[in-house]
Amino acid sequence: MGGGYSISELSIISAAAFHAEQQRIDVYKLQYKETLAKGARLMSRAAFLSGVFKAAYRELFKHHIPDYTIKKIQDATNKAWVLADNRFKVQIEKQTN
């Protein structure tokens, strides 16, 4: 028999693996349903708040953005870098070292 297991032992192992996989699938289904429900709530809320968000976004661009700031944003975007100040970089380094 496979690896020294009897057929009944392999059946039990197989059933346990199937059960574990089924539980994992059930958890994913539940998470998917919750995500859809959350998305629906956010969409309805977003529809209500969209005017507020648009106004706040427009407010950001009422003032001149310096060329060096635009360059930093472009470089970070084009090179997939994190755009952050030194304090944030230090925090990340502490967490990853």
* 33-70 pLDDT, tens digit each: 888 777 777 666 666 667 777 777 777 777 788 888 88
Contact 7, 1 (CB under 8 A): yes
pTM for this prediction = 0.34
Residue 2 has pLDDT above 60, yes or no: no
Do residue 49 and residue 25 come from a single domain? yes
Q: What whole-number distance in Å separates Cα of residue 75 and Cα of residue 78?
A: 5
pLDDT grade for 3, boundaries at 50, 70 and 90: low
- What one-character DSSP code corresponds to residue 91? H
Please tell me whether residues 45 and 75 are part of one structural domain: no
Report how many domains make up the chain.
2
